[in-house]
Amino acid sequence: MIDVEDWAEIRRLHRAEGLSIKAIVRRLNVSRNTVREALRRDEPPRYERKGSGSAVDAVEPQIRELLREFPTMPATVIAERIGWDRGITILRDRVGELRPLFVPPDPCQRTTYAPGELAQWDLWQPDVEIPLGFGQTDKLWVVSATTGFSRFHGGWMVPTRAGHDVLAGMLRVLEQFGAVPRCAVWDQEGCIGQWRAGRQSLTREFQAFRGTLGMSARLCGPRDPEAKGMVERTHDYYERSFLVGRRFDDVDGFNRQFIGWLRRANNRIHGTTRRRPAEALYEDRGAMMPFPPVLPDPSWRFTTRLPRDHYVRVDTNDYSVNPRFVGRRIDVRVTLDEVIATCDGTEVARHKRCLAKHQTILAADHARILRTMRIEAKAAAVFADAVEERDLTVYDRALGVA
């Protein structure tokens, strides 16, 4: 068989120098048939080894029969049905080649997004223990989002998966975007919504949140992992590029490091768009909606009567309240960072939110007020004991009895 070097030289001599077949035979000392074959070939010769066959060839008809009736039958089950006693790898490879002949194809399309069209949202739980204080640690959640057009990434760690915390995290991420995407794509999170009876049902909290912003929402259908693949792929990117080798002192420390790293990551060339997300965001933001005059307040609010011990419970922690308001109804507001209590518009407590469990938080001014109230109570008791007692015999003398 002629090799590539001879084939190339024969064609050069014939086409570039105009030599005849006879002249080429004399110059290269090859046969006429070799020269003719080289001139007839438009492609270089390749060495093709003749296949020796496979042990699976003998049982391929049986495999086809099983796949025709059961297209999704696993290769291990097929091996059992046909009595296969050899290695499973070559059988699995052949089954993988034959299965598409009997299973309807499931192609996917490449999706493009218009500027400002949507952002994909998800909850990411980093595999790292975050110090919560009082010697406690836990794995917390990050509200993560990626815009469809610019591929700009945003995120914020929140204490819980409760609706008020997740929506507050969403608001922090929207502030990173600088505008509001027209649609939010979410998975079926309990605090966001679920599919029921073939239609999406959003929670009351999320309805109020998106209604204030004027944003639409779309929940991914069941068993549809590709619906928000952009944001899910970023989680793997975060774990490989952000988490490695980092330590965090608390939630605030995590968010500071994460935002700083995202600022650099959004200035790198994106592999799909071939643009820097931080630059493409300007075009994306131009088509988004501006923030409304009044932003949504996703804080957790409740009203309770202040008990005698002047503490209110939030999650598993007890927070002190001004003890002079014992017995009165107070309004409690819980944000990502603070626990605030008011009574008839007067602030009666403000604490930094504690993320540890089963703690009692006493403010210093509440302790001073409580000591003052105790001193006042003791003074009142002493005054009551010092009141003069009237001599009752004066009444007997006045009535002439004595």
SS (H, E, C) 350-366: EEECCCCCCCEECCHHH
Q: What is the mean pLDDT of residues 296-304?
A: 96
- Judged by average pLDDT, the poorest of 237-241, 279-283, 348-352, 377-381 is 377-381
For residue 159, how far is the Cα from the chain centroid? 14
Between 182-186, 221-225, 273-277, 354-358, the lowest mean confidence (pLDDT) is in 221-225
Taking 60 as the threshold, does the pLDDT of residue 402 lie above it? no
- Comparing CA positions, the residue from 172, 203, 157 lying closest to residue 296 is 172
**pLDDT at position 115 over 60:** yes
Same domain for 317 and 277: no
CA angle 224, 184, 145 (to 5 degrees): 85
At residue 108, the pLDDT reads 57
Amino acid identity of 136? Q
Q: Does pLDDT of 195 surpass 70?
A: yes
User: Which residues touch 279 (CB under 8 Å, ≥6 apart)?
Assistant: none
By residue range, what is the domain housing residue 81?
A: 55-101
> Does residue 395 sit within a domain?
no
CA distance 300 to 306: 18
* pLDDT score of 51: 62
Q: Does any domain span residue 400? A: no
Tell me: do 139 and 279 sit in the same domain.
yes
Q: Is 255 inside a domain boundary?
A: yes
Both 176 and 245 in one domain: the answer is yes
At residue 229, the pLDDT reads 80
- Position 398 in a domain: no
pLDDT at res. 77: 92
